[in-house]
C-alpha cells in the first residue's frame, strides 16, 4: 500500500533517481572529522537514533529542563538540554555511571549534575521541583491547546488565569479560530494518534488526492515516517509531477474533504515561495510552500481494529490533526528531508551544513557558499551526499 511504500522509500515515484551513484562516495572527508569514528558526533545528523531510547529516565528529565527554560525565554540553556537529551537518545546502551558521560559531546556541567542525581537517587530533585511548580504546570496546560504557544500561555498566566475555564470565562480574551477549535476538540487532539489511525487518514487523503490528480504523489512524513507508534498529528507531502499544479491540487483536496463533511477545521496558507529570494540566510522555522493545518473527522469503521476510545465514549469517531504541505516537485527532496524531522535532527543538519560545509540548507534548497551555487537533489540521498554525510534512514532520525 502507499503507507508502507512511503515509509520505506520516501521518494516520489515520478522522479528518477540517477543521482544514486553518489551513495558510493566516501562519507565524511577526513579533514573535517579530526575525531575518531568510534566517538559520538556532536551533530545529530551524524548519529543513528531509533525510537528505542535506552536512557529515557535521563532524557525525560532533560526535556523538562529544556521546556522550563523555554517558558522562561532562555533559548541557550533550553537548546543545551535538548542537545544533551538527543545525544543520550542515540546511545545503544544505558548510562550507568558518570564516567562514561565524560567522553560524550553536548553534556555540560548542569547536565552531568542531573545525571549524577538520577544515578544516585533514581530521580532529580531539580526536575521534581519544576514539575511541581505552578507556573510550569499552567504553562504546560495552556500550550497543550492547539494554537496556543508559549507567548500566549505566558500572557494568560500573567493575567492571573489558571485553568481552561478561567480562560473561557474571561470576556476580554479573544480566541482566534485555531484556538477555538483547539478548545472545542481538546479531548481528541490532545490524545495521541496511533499508527492505525495515521494509516486510515492516509487512505482518506490518498483517495482524495488521486481522485483529483491520478499521478499525484502522496508521502507520509513526520514522526510516523520515522517509525514512531504514536504522534500528535499526521504529516503528509502532496505534490504532482506537473510543476506549478501542486497548489491547485492542495486546494482541491481541501474542497473535497469539506464536501465529504469531514473537515472540522482548516487553516490554509498559500505559497509564498519565491525562487529568486533564495538562498535564505536567516533561519526560518517554516517553509514558504502552500500548506494547510487541518482537523479531520475519522470514523471508527475506517480504522483497522477500530478507534482506541474510552469505554464510555460511544461517538464512533474522533478528531485528528493533519498537516499537508505541497511543494513544487523539484523541491520535493528538500521538503521531505525537512518535514521528516526530528526537530533536533533538522536543527543539526542545518548547523552541520553551515558550520562544517559552508552550505545553507532549508526545506527549499541547498546552497554552497564557496561555489556560490545551488546543489540540485531529487532524493534525500542526494542531499546527504552533497553534504558529505553518511545516509541516515528515516527511522534513524529520532534524535
Please give the residue ranges that form the binding site for Mg ion (CB under 5 A): 222-223, 231, 233, 235
Position 380 contacts ligand DCT (CB under 6 A): no
* Catalytic choice (188, 233, 362, 382): 233
Other CB atoms within 10 A of residue 284 CB: 10
Site for ligand DCT contains 339 (CB under 6 A)? yes
Question: Residue 326 Cβ, how far from Mg ion at the closest point, in Å?
Answer: 16
Cα separation, 334 vs 347, in Å, equals 14
Q: Which stretch binds ligand DCT (CB under 6 A): 43-51, 110-118, 305-313, 341-349?
A: 341-349
C-beta separation of 147 from 182 below 8 A:
yes
Q: Tally the residues of the chain.
A: 399
Binding mask 259-298 for ligand DCT (x = CB under 6 A): --------------------------x-------------
Query: CB of 360: closest distance to ligand DCT in angstroms?
Result: 15
Q: How far is Cα 76 from Cα 74, in angstroms, rounded to an integer?
A: 6
Choose from Mg ion, ligand DCT, none: what does 228 bind? Cβ within 5-8 Å by kind. Answer: ligand DCT
How far apart CA 13 and CA 211 sit, in angstroms, is 18
Of 121, 37, 40, residue with least CA distance to 88: 40
| Cell output for 327 | 511543494
Nearer to Mg ion, 231 or 327 (CB): 231
Residue from 123, 259, 343, 358 binding ligand DCT (CB under 6 A): 343
SS3 label, residue 265: strand
- Grid look-up 480562560 returns 167
Concerning whether 235 is annotated as a catalytic residue, the answer is yes
Is 89 a binding residue for ligand DCT by CB under 6 A? The answer is no
- Interface with ligand DCT, residue 310, by CB under 6 A: no
Report CA 317 to chain centroid distance, whole Å.
26
Residue 346 near ligand DCT by CB under 6 A? yes
Tell which residue, 209, 198, 317, has the closest CA to residue 256: 209
197-236: which residues touch ligand DCT (CB under 6 A)? Answer: 222-223, 228, 231-233, 235
Please confirm, yes or no, whether 362 is among the known catalytic residues.
no
Task: Please check whether residue 362 is in contact with residue 280, taking contact to mean a CB–CB distance below 8 angstroms.
Answer: yes
Among Mg ion, ligand DCT, none, residue 384 binds (CB under 5-8 Å by kind): none
Q: Strands, E, within 182-283: which ranges?
A: 193-194, 217-221, 230-231, 234-239, 263-269
Options 5, 133, 323, 330, the catalytic residue: 323
From the list ligand DCT, Mg ion, none, partner contacted by residue 341 (C-beta under 5 to 8 A by kind): ligand DCT
Distance CA 348, CA 90 (A): 14
Helices 150-158 & 56-71, crossing angle to 10 degrees?
60
- Minimum CB separation of residue 169 from Mg ion in Å reads 32
Whether the upstream peptide bond of residue 279 has omega within 30° of 0, thus cis, is: yes
Q: Which CB sits closer to ligand DCT, 104 or 324?
A: 324
For residues 50 and 33, give the distance between their C-alpha atoms in angstroms, rounded to a whole number: 23
Nearer to Mg ion, 154 or 233 (CB): 233
Q: Judge whether 334 and 278 are in contact, CB under 8 Å.
A: no
Is 233 among the residues known to form the active site? yes
Q: What, of ligand DCT, Mg ion, none, does residue 343 touch, CB below 5 to 8 Å by kind?
A: ligand DCT
80 or 193: whose CB is closer to ligand DCT? 193
Grid cell locating 7: 515509509
Residue 346 interacting entry, from Mg ion, ligand DCT, none, C-beta within 5 to 8 Å by type:
ligand DCT
Binding site for ligand DCT (CB under 6 A): 222-223, 228, 231-233, 235, 285, 338-339, 341-343, 346
- Catalytic positions are 233, 235, 323
Amino acid at each position: 500500500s502507499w503507507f508502507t511504500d512511503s515509509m520505506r522509500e520516501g521518494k516520489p515515484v515520478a522522479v528518477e533517481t540517477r543521482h544514486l551513484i553518489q551513495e558510493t562516495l566516501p562519507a565524511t572527508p577526513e579533514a573535517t572529522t579530526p575525531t575518531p569514528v568510534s566517538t559520538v558526533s556532536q551533530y545529530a545528523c551524524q548519529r543513528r537514533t531509533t525510537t528505542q531510547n535506552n536512557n529515557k529516565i535521563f532524557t525525560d528529565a532533560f526535556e523538562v529542563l529544556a521546556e522550563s527554560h523555554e517558558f522562561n525565554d532562555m533559548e541557550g540553556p533550553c537548546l543545551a538540554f535538548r542537545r544533551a537529551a538527543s545525544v543520550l537518545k542515540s546511545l545503544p546502551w544505558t548510562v550507568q555511571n558518570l564516567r562514561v558521560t565524560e567522553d560524550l559531546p553536548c553534556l555540560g556541567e548542569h547536565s552531568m549534575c542531573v545525571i549524577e542525581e538520577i544515578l544516585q537517587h533514581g530521580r532529580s530533585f531539580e526536575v521534581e521541583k519544576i514539575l511541581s511548580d505552578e507556573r510550569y504546570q499552567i504553562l504546560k496546560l495552556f500550550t497543550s491547546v492547539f494554537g496556543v504557544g508559549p507567548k500566549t500561555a505566558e500572557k494568560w498566566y500573567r493575567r492571573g488565569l489558571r485553568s481552561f475555564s478561567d480562560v473561557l470565562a474571561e470576556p476580554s480574551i479573544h480566541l482566534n479560530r485555531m484556538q477555538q477549535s483547539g478548545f472545542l476538540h481538546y479531548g481528541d487532539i490532545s490524545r495521541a494518534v496511533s499508527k492505525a489511525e495515521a494509516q486510515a487518514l492516509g487512505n482518506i487523503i490518498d483517495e482524495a488526492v488521486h481522485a483529483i490528480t491520478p499521478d499525484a504523489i502522496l508521502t507520509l512524513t513526520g514522526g510516523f515516517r520515522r517509525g514512531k507508534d504514536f504522534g500528535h498529528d499526521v504529516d503528509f507531502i502532496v505534490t504532482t509531477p506537473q510543476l506549478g499544479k501542486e497548489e491547485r491540487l492542495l486546494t482541491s483536496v481541501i474542497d473535497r474533504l469539506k464536501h465529504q463533511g469531514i473537515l472540522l477545521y482548516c487553516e490554509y496558507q498559500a505559497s509564498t515561495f519565491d525562487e529568486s529570494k533564495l538562498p535564505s540566510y536567516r533561519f526560518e522555522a517554516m517553509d514558504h510552500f502552500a500548506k494547510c493545518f487541518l482537523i479531520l473527522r475519522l470514523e471508527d469503521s475506517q480504522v483497522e481494529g477500530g478507534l482506541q476510545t474510552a469505554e464510555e465514549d460511544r461517538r464512533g469517531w474522533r478528531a485528528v490533526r493533519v498537516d499537508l504541505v505541497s511543494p513544487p516537485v523539484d523541491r520535493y527532496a528538500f521538503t521531505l528531508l525537512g518535514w521528516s524531522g526530528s526537530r533536533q535532527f533538522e536543527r543539526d543538519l542545518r548547523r552541520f551544513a553551515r558550520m562544517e560545509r559552508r552550505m545553507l540548507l532549508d526545506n527549499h534548497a541547498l546552497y554552497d557558499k564557496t561555489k556560490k551555487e545551488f546543489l540540485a537533489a531529487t532524493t534525500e540521498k542526494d542531499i546527504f551526499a552533497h553534504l558529505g554525510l553518511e545516509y541516515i534512514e528515516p527511522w534513524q532520525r529520532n534524535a
